[in-house]
Structure formats: C-alpha cells, structure tokens
Amino acid sequence: MTKPFTWDELRLQLTVELQDTSHILTYGTIGSCNIDHDIDTIVTKKPDSPSADFFKDLHKVFDNIDTYLQKKYQARLIRTSRFSDEEETKYIANCQENDVIFQVLSYVSMKQIKMHWFDSFIDLDGDVKTEAFLRDNYKCIAGQISDIFRSDFACHKREDLFIRLNDSDRLNSHFPKDFLVRRMNVLYDFVLRKRLGLEMLPASDEDDCRDLFYKICMMLDQS
C-alpha cells in the first residue's frame, strides 16, 4: 500500500529542520529514496563542532520529523544504522505500514567513512573507490559534496569508537523504553569499560541514555 506522504514532502521537512542546526556539515542521501523500503542517509559533522553537539542536532532533526509524521499521518520515523540490523529493528519497533525507515550513517571524518566502508570495494583500491562512489551518488540536502573532501574533515579522533556509536545508536528507533535502555547500556559498557577503561554508571531511562551518549562523545573528542 502506498504511504500517505511522499519523499518530496519529507525532503522539504528535512530542509526546514536542517536550517535550525549548527553542527551538521552535510546531510544527504544515496540510492533511490524509496520510502516504501528505506531512506539511505549520510550525515557528517562540521570539523570545528563538538561531536556531542553534532549528535544532538542529528537526534533533534529526527525527533522533529518523527513528531511531524505522527501528528499528520499517525506514522513514525524509525532509524536504523546497518542493513544487517534493519529487519530486527523494524521487528523490535513494531514497524507499521505507514512508518518510514531511515538507515543513517553518521560520520565525524572521511577517515571514519573509509574505515566503515573498508570491505565494500574489496576488488579495487578502497580509498579511491569510496571517494568516487560518494562523488557520484551522495545527494546533499544540506551542505555541498565538496565539503566532505575538505582537508579539515579528513581525520578526527577515535573513529573506531564513533563507528560503534553510529552502528548501535537506537535513540530514534522507537524501541520499547525499557529495552532501549538495556540496548544502549550494552554500547556504553563496551565503549567506556572495555575500550576506555572507565567505570560506568548505567543509564536508567531514555533521558539518561541521551545524556550518556553525549558525554561519551565529549570523552572521545578529548581522548
């Protein structure tokens, strides 16, 4: 069944929301933007912006689009991060016919993109192929494609752990609240205890999950 809204309508709403952000370098899509399947999305951080502020902007954009869909169409935005997790995310979120799936890749540097995509082009030079793919397929709604090839976007810090944050971010996924807390605490335990060697006070509710996510971003920026 056709959804009651179109990609053009969502794109317009995204454009409006992105105008109120300060820390997103580029926001764009790859692929067909078929709302009956999913919207493949790449979002990048301004080099001078704290990563916590970048993710706050990103989460707020999706919060507001979700609110728009719920109020106007009784539909939801459900965020996933990897195609391999999409079906289980939809199942846990109890995805309904009018809901729209956003598969989101969030990046703090070109280095992170290339690390994340290292096995996507195994038959050719991965760096060259990744850049060529982005130039040919990344369609920006905010920012310009040239922005992600700037020298100040080349590297950040702890790209390995920012990949973990992206792949396990379920803050806009409509998981049941108790399960969301359990799921996000697995991520936080891995980053804080297993990788940074720090004691962790687990998140106790959804607000805690967000606060701890941003605190970890600040730690990674300073590491």
1, part of any domain:
no
43, part of any domain:
yes
76, part of any domain:
yes
Q: Are 124 and 175 in contact (CB under 8 A)?
A: no
Q: Are 172 and 59 in contact (CB under 8 A)?
A: yes
Residue 79 pLDDT greater than 80, yes or no = yes
Closest C-alpha to 165, from 144, 145, 190, 147: 190
Write out the two tokens for 117.
């995509």
User: pLDDT class for 78, splitting at 50, 70, 90?
Assistant: very high
2, part of any domain:
no
Residue 118 pLDDT greater than 90, yes or no = no
Nearest-angstrom CA–CA distance, 150 and 162: 20
75, part of any domain:
yes
**What's the pLDDT at 2?**
86
97, part of any domain:
yes
What would the pLDDT profile of 169-181 be if each residue is shown by its tens digit? 999 999 999 999 9
Q: Across residues 203-222, what is the average pLDDT? A: 97
Nearest-angstrom CA–CA distance, 175 and 169: 11
**What's the pLDDT at 223?**
85
Tell me how many domains the chain contains: 1
Closest C-alpha to 55, from 222, 191, 223, 211: 211
101, part of any domain:
yes
What is the span of the domain harbouring residue 110?
A: 7-222
